[in-house]
Amino acid sequence: MVPLSHYLLLSAALFMIGVVGVLVRRNAIVVFMSIEIMLNAVNISLIAFDKYLNQHDGQVFSFMVMCVAAAEVSVGLAIIISMFRNKPTVNLDEFNIMKW
Amino acid sequence: MEPINAPESIDLISLAPVLVLSVFAMAVLVLDLFAGKNKALVVFVSITGLFLSGVSALAKYKLPVYSFNDSYVVDHLSVFFIFLFTLSSALAILLSIEYNRREGIRMGEYYSLILFCTIGMILLASSTDLIMIFLGIEIVSICLYVLAGIRRRDLKSNESALKYFLLGAFATGFLLYGMALVYGTTGSTNLMKIATAIHEGNVNSMPLLLLGVVLLVVGFGFKVSSAPFHMWTPDVYQGAPTPVTAFMAVGPKAAAFAALFRVFTQSLPELDSTWEMVLIVVAVLTMVVGNLGAIMQTNVKRLLAFSSVSHVGYILMAVIAKNSIATASLLFYMLAYAFMIFGVFGIIIMMGREGEENLEIENYAGLGYKHPLLALSMTAFLLSLGGLPPFAGFVAKFYIFSAALKEGLLALVVIAVLNSAISFYYYLKIIVFMYMKEPQQEIRVSLSPITLFVVTVSLIATIQLGIFPDPIIALAQN
């Protein structure tokens, strides 16, 4: 059986990839994808903990995370589209009317 | 596997405020289809829903009542917060009427989004389970992302929504990871069970748990906009529609504080030596960054955003002190802050012009001569925000500082008092402009009766809470 620590390391690695993606990339969609990677990295740890503890709370939690992620996607894409209609770009650096 | 609990753990009455509000929020969505351009009916239904929801919070007599497998609680804290949320949402809706007419926001969804956001806030303040807290935070945040960007033809509003969304979702990731680690190391998502597990030393890995706690601080820090996680606040507050800014500064922030308070004092009291240190550093940074940032601002909304960051620093002191005075002072501060903010923003809305114009400090020059009463109430709100007697802000700060002093946090209180002194610089700057500068343009104020009503109520409450704070303090101390 694969030990718990392997899952946690995988989850931590994915989470870091997501964090770095958010901080480094300037394309709104890619930043958005990186955030989704972060959420799914957490799902991996939740499920791994759940299996390790022999419970079901973690699975329920990860379902909730998926629902929330889906809701967030719909709102996020809508925001990006309405932004794109006013200014045809998805580069975050060009959205600087107000100081970052 | 535990058997699924019998239905008696499901207590729908304790959930009444949420259910009432859900029904009304959906009713508003449907009604809007038939209401046409006149939104009076929609507004009326929304306010009724908020009122009934606030009343239904009193449905339980013997508190606290736990239900839904101990994941939802009705206690004095949550009832107080439900009153605060319904009141602040109602004031925000009243402030929106005139503004929305001027800016051409004709969507009825605006009102139902505020109601849905209030549902999230109530869940957040009443949850005793990490899953529920996560859901509450997300309901609040997703509604706010949309509300921030509701002027969708305006680039500033778009930018504000986008920044809020990306940084908010980013923070959610940290919060969630923290929750996952706390769950994994203690074996439960229930706040009380987490506390028991830590108390009994039933923790799988202490380093991972501590990492989880730090990630929780980061995640909540983003949501309450404490430094160094406050970068989104000025931009979002400036770009969002003015009533939404007022709404964001009060309700959702108070809700995040309620959850933060619950998580740290109820589930992690054994680890307080760790998170207390972290929170003290965060609180000091928040006060200093907020106040220094506000000094340089010329836009009133941006200035108030920085000022709200500094207020978060003061409120964090109550969480750090965590004694019985601290809980009461936290509640009192939130209430006082709500009235001050709605008062100030009411005046900002009256001063503003179509297209989110007229928001610079220079635009307030000469207001003291043209509209002496309006300028006088603005002065009262600003001095109250700074913490001058006889206004509510003074009493609120006084209680928080005395709660912290009781715990021997002398250095922290000294820093906070010095920061309050700094804050007078920028509050007085607006007052100086109102009374001592010549107006550069014609002053045109849209004195709509409803906005005036909100400002008057806020003014009376600010003075009333400042002179006779005892009833509310006694109520909050329960």
Q: Look-up: residue for tokens 């700094």?
A: B422
Strand partners of residue B66: B73
Lowest mean pLDDT among B89-93, B189-193, B268-272, B340-344: B268-272
CB-CB under 8 Å, A100 with B231:
yes
Which has the higher per-residue pLDDT, B106 or B54? B54
Cα separation, B111 vs B107, whole angstroms: 8
CB pairs under 8 A between A and B: 130
Q: What is the DSSP string of B10-51?
A: --GGGGHHHHHHHHHHHHHHHHHHHHTT--HHHHHHHHHHHH
List CB contacts of A99: < 8 A, sequence separation 6 or more.
B234, B235
CA distance B152 to chain A (A): 6
Quick check: A99 pLDDT over 90? no
Strand partners of residue B353: B357
- Contact criterion met (CB below 8 Å) for B279 and B316: yes
The pLDDT value recorded for residue B2 is 55
Whether residue B7 is preceded by a cis peptide bond, meaning omega within 30 degrees of 0, is no
Band of the pLDDT at B52, cuts 50, 70, 90? very high
The pLDDT value recorded for residue B3 is 54
Task: Look at residue B365 and give its three-state secondary structure.
Answer: coil
CA distance B228 to chain A (A): 14
The pLDDT value recorded for residue B453 is 94
The pLDDT value recorded for residue B366 is 86
Cα separation, B383 vs B390, whole angstroms: 9
Chain A residues with CB-CB distance to B222 below 8 A:
none
Strand partners of residue B154: none
Helix (H) or strand (E) segment spanning residue B72 = strand B72-74
Alpha helices in B127-154 (DSSP H): 130-148
ipTM of the complex: 0.95
CA distance B423 to chain A (A): 22
Band of the pLDDT at B7, cuts 50, 70, 90? low
CA distance A55 to chain B (A): 7
- Contact criterion met (CB below 8 Å) for B272 and B232: no
Cβ burial of B97 (10 Å; 0-12, 13-18, 19+) is: buried
Chain A residues with CB-CB distance to B302 below 8 A:
98
Mutation to test the A interface, candidates B4, B135, B151, B159, most A Cβ within 10 Å: B159
Quick check: B326 pLDDT over 90? no
End-to-end CA distance of chain B: 38
Band of the pLDDT at B274, cuts 50, 70, 90? confident
| Average pLDDT over chain B, rounded to an integer | 90
Search chain A and give the residue with CA nearest B2.
A55
The pLDDT value recorded for residue A47 is 94
Within its chain, how far is the Cα of B175 from the centroid?
A: 18
CA distance A2 to chain B (A): 17
Tokens matching residue B184: 């994994």
Closest among B20, B89, B10 to B55, alpha carbons compared: B20
- The segment with the largest mean pLDDT, out of A96-100, B177-181, B262-266, B432-436, is B177-181
Cα separation, B39 vs B462, whole angstroms: 30
Among the partner-chain residues B145, B163, B177, the one whose CB lies closest to the CB of A42 is B177
Cα separation, B150 vs B142, whole angstroms: 13
| The one-letter amino acid at B352 | G
Quick check: B1 pLDDT over 70? no
The pLDDT value recorded for residue B105 is 84
Band of the pLDDT at B381, cuts 50, 70, 90? very high
Whether residue B228 is preceded by a cis peptide bond, meaning omega within 30 degrees of 0, is yes
Quick check: B440 pLDDT over 70? yes
Band of the pLDDT at B63, cuts 50, 70, 90? confident
Chain A residues with CB-CB distance to B180 below 8 A:
42, 45-46, 49, 58, 61
CB-CB under 8 Å, A65 with B155:
no
Q: B84-133 pLDDT, tens per residue?
A: 999 999 999 999 998 998 888 888 899 999 999 999 999 999 999 999 99
Tokens matching residue B149: 């960007």
Q: B179-227 pLDDT, tens per residue?
A: 999 999 999 999 999 999 999 988 888 899 999 999 999 999 999 999 8
| The one-letter amino acid at B414 | V
Mutation to test the B interface, candidates A35, A43, A59, A74, most B Cβ within 10 Å: A35
The pLDDT value recorded for residue B4 is 54
Chain A residues with CB-CB distance to B162 below 8 A:
28, 79-80, 83, 92, 95
SS (H, E, C) B164-211: HHHHHHHHHHHHHHHHHHHHHHHCCCEHHHHHHHHHCCCCCCHHHHHH
Alpha helices in chain A (DSSP H): 4-24, 28-53, 57-86
CB-CB under 8 Å, A80 with B183:
no
- Contact criterion met (CB below 8 Å) for B468 and B391: no
Quick check: B8 pLDDT over 70? no
